[in-house]
Amino acid sequence: MKNIVVSGALGKMGQEVVKLVDRTDNFKLVGAVDVAKVGEDIKEVLNLEQASAEITNDLGETLEQVEADAVVDFTTPQVVMGNIKTVCEAGVDIVVGTTGITEADLNKVKEFADENNKVIIAPNFAIGAILMMEFSKKAAKFLDDVEIIEQHHDGKLDAPSGTAIKTAELIQENLTPKEDEREEIEKLEGARGAEQDGINIHSVRLPGLVAHQEVLFGGEGQTLKLRHDSINRRSFMPGVALAINKLDEIDGVVYGLDNLIEL
């Protein structure tokens, strides 16, 4: 049995994780942390089958009061680093889905996580998105002109998405560096998007969207488009469950679900 605390339990993703814990036999909800509805029972708030926990607003204090094996964090880019530190200091394992974690942040986590801490950070838990990233990495061996277009709901705080950043990092591993780049004239700043590892990323935010990404490759007389769509947030839950179950098998910090499955 895994005793789980969900951090960001009332958010769009947090609610799905709480429901996942509620319906999974070897998971038990022992804590629900968020900033609203403090003192209320999450069972009533989310109309759960069996899971029950008083909503609290201090992750550190909560970990002192309950016997937790793992925390699952889907909060905000502003608070996630503090949460990871708090959980590591409490000697509890953590699965992090919150995005906005930079390479420098990742290095900081590796510094403060000691040999007993198990940390899984994944910018995307949807298996289709992992495959889209893997296929993009493969395609970059053959086509070295590529741009990323990511589209998300208008409630998303960070841009570009964590998935787009991770995709660019993976593509870059296989991309042949280009010489004599054309000097472009950008008449409107940002028109060509942002750049990560030399790859342009375009971020769209609109109501009605959930999470979507296209990786567009171009070559002589041809294009290749790799597209993934999460049409609801349940799409991420098998990946979250996999990560929680893999915590026992890993050492230290793992970044990306691709490192937990055989591709």
Ligand X SMILES: O=C(O)C1=N[C@H](C(=O)O)C[C@H](O)C1
Ligand Y SMILES: NC(=O)C1=CN([C@@H]2O[C@H](COP(=O)(O)OP(=O)(O)OC[C@H]3O[C@@H](n4cnc5c(N)ncnc54)[C@H](OP(=O)(O)O)[C@@H]3O)[C@@H](O)[C@H]2O)C=CC1
The catalytically annotated residue of 152, 166, 202, 212 is: 152
Active site residue 152: yes
Helix, strand or coil for residue 18? helix
Instruction: Answer yes or no whether residue 228 interacts with ligand X by CB under 6 A.
Output: no
Are 12 and 233 in contact by the 8 Å Cβ rule? The answer is yes
Applying CB under 6 A, the span of 64-72, 158-166, 195-203, 239-247 interacting with ligand X comes to 158-166
Tell whether 163 is in a known binding site: yes
Residues contributing to the site for ligand Y (CB under 6 A): 7-8, 10-14, 33-36, 74-77, 79, 97-100, 122-125, 236
Residue with tokens 């069996």: 50
Active site residue 28: no
Q: What is the DSSP letter of 1?
A: -
Per CB under 6 A, the list member of 124, 136, 151, 203 interacting with ligand X is 124
Size, binding site for ligand X by CB under 6 A: 9
- Chain residue at closest Cβ approach to ligand Y: 11
Report how far apart, in Å, the C-alpha atoms of 40 and of each of 9, 54, 230, 259 are. Answer: 12, 6, 31, 38
Applying CB under 6 A, the span of 106-114, 159-167, 170-178, 195-203 interacting with ligand X comes to 159-167
Long-range pairs, 243-250, Cβ under 8 A, ≥24: 243/95, 243/120, 243/122, 243/125, 244/2, 244/4, 244/27, 244/70, 244/72, 244/95, 245/2, 245/26, 246/120, 247/69, 247/70, 247/93, 247/95, 247/118, 247/120, 248/118, 250/118, 250/120
Contact flags string 133-152 toward ligand X, x per CB under 6 A: -------------------x
Per CB under 6 A, the list member of 5, 120, 211, 244 interacting with ligand X is 211
Tell whether 25 is in a known binding site: no
Instruction: Answer yes or no whether residue 120 interacts with ligand X by CB under 6 A.
Output: no
Tell whether 153 is in a known binding site: yes
Secondary structure of 178-208 as H, E, C letters: CCCCCCCCCCCCCCCCEEECCEEEEEEECCC
Nearer to ligand X, 53 or 164 (CB): 164
Residues that bind ligand X (CB under 6 A): 99, 123-124, 152, 156, 161-163, 211
Hey, which residues are catalytic here?
152, 156
Residues at the annotated binding site for (S)-2,3,4,5-tetrahydrodipicolinate?
153, 162-163
